[in-house]
Amino acid sequence: MTSIPQHASAAPKMETRGLEIRYGPKAAVKGVSLTLPERQVTALIGPSGCGKSTFLRALNRMNDLIPGASASGEILLDGRSIYAGHLDAVELRRRVGMVFQKSNPFPKSIFENVAYGLRIGGLSDKRELGERIERSLHSAALWDEVKDRLGESAMGLSGGQQQRLCIARALAVEPEVLLMDEPASALDPIATAKIEDLIHELKARYTIAIVTHNMQQAARVSDQTAFFYMGELVEVGPTEQIFTTPREQRTEDYVTGKFG
């Protein structure tokens, strides 16, 4: 599928054109053209193996790390190719951050977890480091819960807190786009609600793409929803439309639970 009309009023922050991703001979993503509108949440839904996570990981070149993976087509950030010379993978991943399904805090203190990316980026000024960390923890809605124990191990936090810590860590380097791969699938409903509430707040400043198997979650958090099936982008549209009146039969079957 080459182009599907989208109903995004916001400017495109990221855009793919005819993106094809292969693992060896097998195409995992087939000719996908999709726009992530600025400061909106795009949900990527579809059954397992439909290519949505592969697509997400392509947006900050995480697939480069997988042997045998290759990509063709275009991926644009602010209208410029992410493979162009002006942008190396490290800088790209600073601008396009990622939060994974399983929270993966480093076995370090809460403070050091958030400071990690900043230190790698060369920031050593203690006061600025402290400010940036506080701001990130505030943004991740975790500050009030950890402000009195920043020196304690991150491993002592609950699963939901660990996930918000990972979000704080991603936010610390001030990205522009945030990619989330099933960020709440391992969390209880309260922790999930906190993450979803956080996504609502974060979209005022960031462009967000979220992969989720939980369709109600996609419906709750996103502005537009893209349905992937067997590597193709079947349909993309305003989330309300996808969940009330999808245009494609395959989308209809998926959101109503009619996939065998």
Partner 1 sequence: MATTHTDKTYEAELRELRDRLLAMGGLVEQAIVSSVRAVTERDVELAEQVKLRDREINRMEVDVDGQCRRILALRQPAASDLRFITTALKIVVDLERMGDLAVNVAERALDLAQAPAFAPTHDLAKIADLAEAQLKKALDAFVTGDVAKAEEVMKSDELIDALYLKIFNDMLGRMMEDSKNIRRATALMFAAKHLERFGDHATNLAEMVVYMVRGTDVRHPRSRAPGVPGA
Contact 52, 218 (CB under 8 A): no
Shortest distance in whole angstroms from residue 258 CB to partner 1:
4
Using CB under 8 A as the binding criterion, the count of chain residues that bind partner 1 stands at 17
> What value, to the nearest 5°, has the Cα angle with vertex 103 and ends 102 and 109?
155
Q: Rounded to an integer, what distance in angstroms lies between the CA atom of residue 43 and that of residue 53?
A: 11
CB of 234 to partner 1, least distance (A): 13
CB of 241 to partner 1, least distance (A): 9
Of residues 24 and 49, the one with the C-beta less far from partner 1 = 49
Q: Which is nearer to partner 1, 103 or 225 (CB)?
A: 225
**Measured from the CB atom, is 78 or 252 closer to partner 1?**
252
CB of 244 to partner 1, least distance (A): 6
Strand partners, 27: 22
CB 57 within 8 A of CB 63: yes
Place of tokens 């936010």: 171
What is the nearest approach in angstroms of partner 1 to the Cβ of residue 218? Answer: 10
Using CA atoms in the order 100, 106, 110, 114, what is the torsion angle rounded to 10 degrees? -60
Q: Which one, of 159, 165, 166, 158, lies nearest residue 142 by Cα?
A: 165
Q: Which is nearer to partner 1, 107 or 257 (CB)?
A: 257
Give the three-class secondary structure for 52: helix
Q: Site map for partner 1, 18-57, x if CB under 8 A?
A: ----------------------------------------
Taking CA 8 as the corner, what is the angle to CA 219 and CA 11, rounded to the nearest 5 degrees? 125
| Cβ distance to partner 1 smaller for residue 87 or 215 | 215
Footprint on residues 207-226 left by partner 1 (CB under 8 A): 215-216, 219
- Phi/psi zone of residue 125: left (φ > 0), alpha (ψ -120 to 50 degrees), beta? beta
Q: How far is the CB of 56 from partner 1 (least distance, A)?
A: 22
Min dist CB 259 to partner 1, Å, is 6
- Interaction with partner 1 in 225-254: which residues (CB under 8 A)? 243-246, 249, 251-253
Q: Is the CB of 122 or the CB of 260 nearer to partner 1? A: 260
Distances (CA, A) of 170 to 43, 94, 142, 173, 206: 19, 8, 13, 6, 12
Q: Which is nearer to partner 1, 113 or 225 (CB)?
A: 225
Contact positions toward partner 1, by CB under 8 A? Answer: 215-216, 219, 243-246, 249, 251-253, 255-260
